[in-house]
Amino acid sequence: MSDELKRLAAERAVADVEPGMKLGIGTGSTAEHFVRALGQRVRDGLDVIGVPTSERTAELAKAEGITLTTLEEMPELDLTIDGADELDPQLVLIKGGGGALLREKIVAAASKRMIVIADVGKLVDVVGAYPLPIEVIPFGLGATWKALEACLVANDLPVKMALRGGDEHPFVTDGGHYIIDAHLERIPHPACLADDLTAVPGVVEHGMFISLATKAYVAGPEGVITVEDTTVDPET
């Protein structure tokens, strides 16, 4: 059922893609449904060009016949469509379950608009139940870890972290970094935590996406609903 809902949300988002658009193309199971649906529209004659957020997405997009480029060649995008591991009604997102959060955030920030696609199980009142991915540089990991612990204490959050993949075989991102997953339960003040995490030396990026998404299509048993962030001007 969840996979079918992901497909419905993805197909709804494809309807927002217009000819000539420069697209950011997300990563993850829901985004893969979008890539396949977009590929069908491309084969039907839709002219678009995309920037993938991971090597996995790039491979799938190429297989679907979607023309790709890079942010070096095309630094400004019209629209990014991507999934989320969690989102709240204000469109604060947690992303990075698939390990592509750094590229995903760079691409989203380069876009005029971002549409999130998700099944209803990802929509929550307050984000944090899904572990927050924090991408870190391998060098100095011990020092970064201690600084992150202090950061969580200062934000009155649980100090419960795990290196993704474990110490012997840590997960390595496309950028050559590690990911620490923070199990925080609830993040009542995401903007404050985001600022504090960004200030920690050794942190490359974190998985909270704030003021980036302008709309979400969330699919449930009764259909697809639209969640919009009215605080973001889609023309800026």
Q: Is 176 helix (H, G, I), strand (E, B) or coil?
A: coil
Q: Is 230 annotated as a binding residue?
A: no
Which of 104, 135, 205, 222 is an active site residue?
104
State yes or no: 140 annotated in a binding site. no
50 annotated ligand-binding residue: no
* 54 in a labelled binding site: no
How far is it, in rounded angstroms, from Cα 142 to Cα 157? 20
Q: Say whether 112 counts as a known binding-site residue.
A: no
Count Cβ neighbours within 10 Å for each residue of 59-97 and write b for 16 or more, e otherwise: ebbeebebebeeeeeeeebbbbbbbbbbbbebbbbbbbb
Please indicate if the annotation marks 122 as binding a ligand: yes
Tell me: is residue 78 an annotated ligand-binding position: no
Amino acid occupying residue 90:
Q
Which parts of the chain are beta strand (E)? 22-25, 49-52, 77-82, 86-87, 93-94, 111-119, 132-136, 161-163, 178-182, 203-206, 208-209, 215-220, 223-228
The CA distance from 207 to 184, in Å, is 13
Does 215 count as an annotated binding residue? no
Is 104 tagged catalytic? yes
DSSP single-letter state for residue 121:
G
Task: Consult the annotation and say whether 220 binds a ligand.
Answer: no
Q: Is 160 annotated as a binding residue?
A: no
226 annotated to a ligand binding site? no
Q: Would you call 130 helix, strand, or coil by DSSP? A: coil
Query: Which residues define the annotated binding site?
Result: 27-30, 82-85, 95-98, 122
The catalytic residue positions are 104
Query: Which residues define the annotated binding site for substrate?
Result: 27-30, 82-85, 95-98, 122
